[in-house]
Amino acid sequence: MSDRSVNLKALAGHLDLTVSTVSRALNDYPDISRATRERVKHAADALGYRPNQNARRLSIGTPETVCYLIPRQHGASSQPFIAQLLSGLGEALNERNWDLLVCQADASAGDLETIDRLVTSGRIAGLVISRPLKNDPRITLAQDLGCPFVVHGRSDHCDNYAWYDVDGEDGFFTAVNHLVQMGHRRIGFIGGPLEYQFAQERLDGYLRGLSHNALAHDPELVQIAEFTDEGGSAAAGLLMEQPTPPTAVVCVTDMVALGTLEALHARGIKPGEQVSVIGYDGLHFGKHANPPLTTMAQPQAHAGRRLGDMLLSIIDGADPRSFHELQRAHLVQRNTDGPAPVKAGQNDVSVREDKQ
Amino acid sequence: MSDRSVNLKALAGHLDLTVSTVSRALNDYPDISRATRERVKHAADALGYRPNQNARRLSIGTPETVCYLIPRQHGASSQPFIAQLLSGLGEALNERNWDLLVCQADASAGDLETIDRLVTSGRIAGLVISRPLKNDPRITLAQDLGCPFVVHGRSDHCDNYAWYDVDGEDGFFTAVNHLVQMGHRRIGFIGGPLEYQFAQERLDGYLRGLSHNALAHDPELVQIAEFTDEGGSAAAGLLMEQPTPPTAVVCVTDMVALGTLEALHARGIKPGEQVSVIGYDGLHFGKHANPPLTTMAQPQAHAGRRLGDMLLSIIDGADPRSFHELQRAHLVQRNTDGPAPVKAGQNDVSVREDKQ
DNA sequence: CTGAAAGCGCTTACAG
DNA sequence: CTGAAAGCGCTTACAG
């Protein structure tokens, strides 16, 4: 245990040295004699001296602190990986004894003000922005302020800054190909609000999957939902009520996919048999869904650590444009994907029958 | 947008006043003429002046920062509510323009050192400790350091500090009563490592439920598992392999309950029909389990906000012992609880049959 | 190799 | 009502 009351001055007095010498000894200045350096460090340990960080940071001119912007919940548990992300970020920061601040701030006006305040009042030296919109004012703000930042995800134009992302476009392309290989020809898509760049990308991947397989894009087969199970359920309902419902549905997130399963159950349709469903995220929970959810799993283990390292490098002066890291999602096959029903295209899983 | 370069001195120069006057005007000192105060504030706004917080905090002698200790993952997603907690905490802190630091630190030696450093280097004025052990060295440390803190949960002796908790003892008592009312007489318990106080409490509630209903406590019916689905699954396996397996199982967390469901499925046992299962937490996801999981739901919405307010009050000088807030969990009945099978006690859902 | 001094950007008694 | 000065606890050129 240390004592908050022992400061440099007290330590110096104890050693019969000046604060100047003691400070340099502690910071390994080369012009301090080895004997003195060791004596100082020893005493510092013994007295439990810890430099006051506010004073130190004021003096060296950096807050040695970075802020992670928690996105506001746009639907339940919109940040399933937040604990892991924070711990990775913290790991990178800890190596330098930097601190991690968290602050809930999305792209809304009041929150931009909060970010502005944080950087202009000298509290943070860098920013981690997550879940960016296509055109995200937080990114513009950080740029205008000259505040180093990294983005978890990408916005519309992402050439000028550092980001770490998982390739959702590729993920949905992969999911669609997988379904086509299983014989599906009518594949629906339940997406999220397109102001989010990742929602757009996932839609793009779906569309590319269709055209790659020479399937027509039927706008009726594309539904936009909130990122919740309720959202997914409602959207899936609309899909299944169509004259020719899809035999497979790809969903923007696992949560949305769970809602889709629910909608299918409600209509007496068997997921994985009559209608295939593929989610995206790879939530551990999906394993326990009914039936276990097939999904495109994002590799999330290293996101925090990588973002933290990138940000630190940029603060050190590295070119942000040199950090563009794109990971791939991979298919985790559980039980909601299966071969297309034999009479695909004219299959009989329409809700109308159930309603009678 | 503001300018980091305009400091008090620049602002004072611009106004032809001294920094002393400007500072007092900005901070609403009563001895500043109204005209001056308004002129100063106006100019501060116009120039986008923001006091440097490191300097300010060094001067006033408090870091105006509080730290939330993220518990290390003791099993997957051990902190399902972390995002909500952080945002509640941030809300309370924001009102005073305080900051929220996060730091991953459990009760292990290296992490205690981290906490020590954080407080003795003057970086934080308060601590939020979560998932306490029965005898948690973090609590002892905070006390020794004289660092104000609040605990999310309780440890063995919790009279001397502030805490916010959900009554797990009562929750399990309630769950057992519910099962007894449905005719169950042989009720199993899958708990977590008893070094965690909440694991002990939930076990206590289970035991009280038994004795309250004049049911014998069969030690064979109590299994300890890791807080994961795999843990739950293994423990449930042991329970069901007994000569007279239970007709109902209460589980320390929803995750463990999901593992239990899996173990039952693997043995061809129908949850909610042949064997009832009740979880604890009230995770939204449980709704999508197979079948939807009955659980004791914790009210989590206000935990962060309440903990933040408590901590701030204590830092202001309030007596920590005046903050003991105990919430109750409530039964969310979904589909894994049901009446005891008719031939309870000698029912035939033994794993041995399946193995042949 | 060590000391004396200035400075980081604030706040706050103390004069006047 | 405003100014001059000291202080918060560090770091870091600059002397010697």
Do the domain assignments include residue B282?
yes
A182 and A248 both lie in a single domain: yes
Closest nucleotide to A24, Cα to C1': D11
pLDDT band at B105 (very low <50, low <70, confident <90, very high): confident
Distance, in Å, from the CA atom of B275 to the CA atom of A195, rounded to the nearest integer, reads 46
Side-chain-side CA neighbours of residue A238 (13 Å) = 16
B153 and B173 both lie in a single domain: no
pLDDT band at A109 (very low <50, low <70, confident <90, very high): confident
Q: Which of A211, A190, A213 shows the shortest CA–CA distance to A202? A: A190
**Cross-chain CB nearest to A50 (options B102, B121, B291):** B121
**Cross-chain CB nearest to A54 (options B54, B229, B258):** B54
- Contacts of residue B22, defined as CB under 8 A and 6 or more positions apart, other chains included, come to B8, B11, B12, B15, B40
A137 and A202 both lie in a single domain: no
A346 and A217 both lie in a single domain: yes
* Percent of chain A's residues with pLDDT above 70: 93
| CB-based contact B258 A289, cutoff 8 Å | no
Please report residues of B whose CB lies closer than 8 A to that of A146. 4
Single pTM value for the model: 0.92
B282 and B317 both lie in a single domain: no
pLDDT band at A74 (very low <50, low <70, confident <90, very high): low
Measured from the CB, is A34 under 7 Å from any atom of strand C? yes
In angstroms, the CA of B170 and the C1' of C1 are apart by: 69
Query: Which bases of strand C sit closer than 7 A to a protein CB?
Result: 1-5, 7-13
Side-chain-side CA neighbours of residue A261 (13 Å) = 32
B173 and B275 both lie in a single domain: yes
pLDDT in tens, B308-339: 999 999 999 999 999 999 999 999 999 999 99
Do the domain assignments include residue A57?
no
**Which residue is closest, via its CA, to the C1' of D2?**
B21
pLDDT band at A1 (very low <50, low <70, confident <90, very high): very low
Please determine, for residue A162, whether its predicted confidence score (pLDDT) is greater than 90: yes
Predicted confidence at residue A279, as pLDDT, reads: 98
* Residues spanned by the domain of B24: 8-51
Q: Are A134 and A300 in contact (CB under 8 A)?
A: no
- Contacts of residue A59, defined as CB under 8 A and 6 or more positions apart, other chains included, come to none
Count of structural domains, chain A: 3
Predicted confidence at residue B348, as pLDDT, reads: 46
A159 and A241 both lie in a single domain: no
pLDDT in tens, B222-268: 999 999 999 999 999 999 999 999 999 999 999 999 999 999 999 99
**Which CATH number fits the domain that encloses residue B161?**
3.40.50.2300
B224 and B196 both lie in a single domain: yes
Q: Which of B207, B182, B352 shows the shortest CA–CA distance to B276? A: B182
Mean pLDDT, rounded, for B53-70: 96
- Pick from B120, B227, B228, B260 the residue to mutate for testing the A interface (most A CBs within 10 Å): B120
Please determine, for residue A345, whether its predicted confidence score (pLDDT) is greater than 50: no
Count residue pairs from A and B with Cβ separation < 8 A: 161
Q: Which of B185, B52, B276 shows the shortest CA–CA distance to A59? A: B52
Three state DSSP letters for chain A: CCCCCCCHHHHHHHHCCCHHHHHHHHCCCCCCCHHHHHHHHHHHHHHCCCCCHHHHHHHHCCCCEEEEEECCCCCCCCCCCHHHHHHHHHHHHHCCCCEEEEEECCCCHHHHHHHHHHHHCCCCCEEEEECCECCCHHHHHHHHHCCCEEEECCCCCCCCCEEEEECHHHHHHHHHHHHHHCCCCCEEEEECCCCEHHHHHHHHHHHHHHHHCCCCCCHHHEEECCCCHHHHHHHHHHHHCCCCCCCEEEECCHHHHHHHHHHHHHCCCCECCCEEEEEEECCHHHHHECCCCEEEECCCCCHHHHHHHHHHHHHCCCCHHHCEEEECCEEECCCCCCCCCCCCCCCCCCHHHHHC
Q: Are A323 and A165 in contact (CB under 8 A)?
A: no
pLDDT in tens, A25-68: 999 999 899 999 999 999 999 999 999 999 999 999 999 999 99
A242 and A131 both lie in a single domain: no
Measured from the CB, is B109 under 7 Å from any atom of strand C? no
Q: Which of A288, A287, A307 shows the shortest CA–CA distance to A297? A: A287
**Which CATH number fits the domain that encloses residue B17?**
1.10.260.40
Distance, in Å, from the CA atom of B245 to the CA atom of B242, rounded to the nearest integer, reads 5
pLDDT in tens, A230-283: 999 999 999 999 999 999 999 999 999 999 999 999 999 999 999 999 999 999
In angstroms, the CA of A44 and the C1' of D4 are apart by: 37
Do the domain assignments include residue B58?
no
Please report residues of A whose CB lies closer than 8 A to that of B99. 101, 103, 123
Predicted confidence at residue B74, as pLDDT, reads: 57
Do the domain assignments include residue B154?
yes
Predicted confidence at residue A80, as pLDDT, reads: 67
A77 and A181 both lie in a single domain: no
Do the domain assignments include residue B57?
no
Query: Which residue in the block uniquely carries the two structure tokens 């609403």?
Result: B28
Do the domain assignments include residue A231?
yes
Collapsing DSSP states into helix, strand and coil, what is residue B55? helix
Please report residues of B whose CB lies closer than 8 A to that of A262. 288
B211 and B340 both lie in a single domain: yes
Measured from the CB, is A72 under 7 Å from any atom of strand D? no
Please determine, for residue B77, whether its predicted confidence score (pLDDT) is greater than 90: no
pLDDT in tens, A166-184: 999 999 999 999 999 999 9
Structure tokens at B149: 């803190």
| CB-based contact B70 A55, cutoff 8 Å | no
| CB-based contact B284 A77, cutoff 8 Å | yes
Q: Is B146 exposed, middle or buried (0-12, 13-18, 19+ CB in 10 A)?
A: exposed
Please report residues of B whose CB lies closer than 8 A to that of A3. 120
pLDDT band at B1 (very low <50, low <70, confident <90, very high): very low
Please report residues of A whose CB lies closer than 8 A to that of B73. 83-84, 87
Mean pLDDT, rounded, for A126-137: 95
Predicted confidence at residue A78, as pLDDT, reads: 53
Do the domain assignments include residue A45?
yes
Please determine, for residue B351, whether its predicted confidence score (pLDDT) is greater than 50: no
pLDDT band at A69 (very low <50, low <70, confident <90, very high): very high
A223 and A341 both lie in a single domain: yes
Per-chain mean pLDDT for chain B: 92
Q: Is B322 exposed, middle or buried (0-12, 13-18, 19+ CB in 10 A)?
A: exposed
Predicted confidence at residue B349, as pLDDT, reads: 45
* Percent of chain B's residues with pLDDT above 70: 93
Do the domain assignments include residue B2?
no
Predicted confidence at residue B300, as pLDDT, reads: 87
